[in-house]
Amino acid sequence: MTVLETKIHESIEYWVETLGLQHWEFTVEVVSEFDDGVDAEASCAAHAYYDQATLRFNKRLKGSEIDYCVVHELVHALMRDYDEAADDALQYLGYNIGRGFALRVNATKENLVDRVTRILLELGKSDRVRP
């Protein structure tokens, strides 16, 4: 295991416990590039029905970005039910109407995930949360 992989696993272990996600099953991968060609630091693919997710981290990830990316992707896992509901709404709306709605929903969701991530990281600095 590389130093980066060790740090990612340590961060995941801490944040899974802190966020009460011990019942989830997480698969962790460190990749050179993402299957869909997206240039990102990390991604989360949560199972539609079970508390399982694959977390992928770019091998170019810097040590200072690990906690942010781990928490960000764990929050995405928690948003799984919201994502499923949004996908159902998009199918109901149809492609022409749904396309604009999808862009808006995805941007709004990403902003929410970012805000929640930053709040959790600040709380994690507190003695009340992290010894």
Mean pLDDT rounded to a whole number for the chain: 88
Give the pLDDT of residue 131: 45
Between residues 75 and 131, the one the model is more confident about = 75
The structure's pTM equals 0.87
Length of the chain: 131
pLDDT tens profile 75-129: 999 999 988 888 888 788 776 776 787 888 889 999 999 999 999 999 987 655 5
The whole-angstrom separation of Cα 46 and Cα 3 is 26
The domains located in the chain, with CATH, are 3-124 (3.40.390)
The DSSP line for 71-125 is HHHHHHHHTHHHHHHHHHHHHHH-HHHHHHHHHHHHHHHHHHHHHHHHHHHHHHT
